[in-house]
Amino acid sequence: MESSDGYSTDEKKRKAEEEARTVFGTSKKTQRSPKLERKKMESSDGYSTDEKKRKAEEEARTVFGTSKKTQRSPKLERKDGDKLDQILKLMTEMKSDQKLINQILKLMTEMKSDQKLIKEEIHCIRTEQEDFKNEIKRLTGENEELRKENEVIRKENREIKEELKEQRRLMNIYEKDRKKSNLVLTGMTMGTEDPRALEENKYKLKNYKLNRIYINEDLTSEEMEKRKQLRDRAKEETNKGKSVKIGYNKLTVDGRELRWNNKKRKIDDPSGAKN
């Protein structure tokens, strides 16, 4: 009877017996010499080599359903053939599993290689992070130095401002003292308009013992009134934010000229504005 793989049950049995003999060192083709048989008569477990052979053959016959004493029926032979088919199928599956195991081992090897690369990359990243930390530390130190320098500069600016303020204060005090020491009187009237009398009085003032009284101009009362009106009008226009220049008997306000009228004794304003 033949199975699905083309081998009969007897052939499968013989093949199994040959494999068993190969495993346990027995073969019909080769016979050991009596001398070698005596050397391996007994082993460490108390069984002789012949007894082990017989025991192995009996186990093989038990597994594959063969026996010298009994002959199996065709039904049993089919059953044995099915068992052999199952064994061969299992062996095929084991080979397939072995391929899968090999693939898994290959993947594990690749994963180990990838892990090594990942570790190297992590090491590089940590090195870069350390470099960044050092750079940040350096920049922080430079920033701290700049902050200290700016603080010193601000302190110097404050000191300079205080010094300038103090200098202005001292200059104001000095100017006030100077004005007190050099008193200027304007518009002081005298009891005469005679030029001769004025010259004589000037001479007397120059010979005054303090030597601090001088007459720069000897003006009549009309001339002083004219100048007073011109000064007052100039101050008024300046307070309005206009540009004012004072000239002889005239004012220039934002480029517009205002002249003194001797007959009317006032400033003529072409725009009609009152003095």
For 133, the token pair is 């930390």
* Per-residue pLDDT at 67: 47
Higher pLDDT, 66 or 106: 106
* Per-residue pLDDT at 135: 92
Q: What mean pLDDT do residues 136-162 have?
A: 91
Bridge partners (DSSP) of residue 266 are: 261
Check pLDDT > 50 for residue 59. yes
Of 21-35, 117-131, 153-167, 253-267, the range with the lowest mean pLDDT is 21-35
* pLDDT class of 49 with cuts at 50, 70, 90: low
The answer to pTM > 0.75 is: no
Of 111-115, 221-225, 236-240, the range with the lowest mean pLDDT is 221-225
Closest CA relative to residue 80, chosen from 97, 99, 69, 64: 64
Contact indicator for 275, 251 with CB cutoff of 8 Å: no
* Per-residue pLDDT at 71: 52
CA 213 to CA 51: how far, in whole Å?
Answer: 160
Check pLDDT > 70 for residue 269. yes
Domain layout of the chain by residue ranges? 1-71, 74-175, 218-275
Q: How far is CA 105 from CA 12, 108, 110, 190, 235, in A?
A: 34, 5, 9, 130, 106
**What SS3 class is residue 250?**
strand
Check pLDDT > 70 for residue 47. no
Q: What mean pLDDT do residues 171-181 have?
A: 74
* pLDDT class of 242 with cuts at 50, 70, 90: confident
* pLDDT class of 146 with cuts at 50, 70, 90: very high
Output the CA torsion sign for 105, 107, 113, 118.
negative
Q: What mean pLDDT do residues 27-37 have?
A: 49
Closest CA relative to residue 91, chosen from 217, 189, 5: 5
Averaged pLDDT score across all residues of the chain: 72
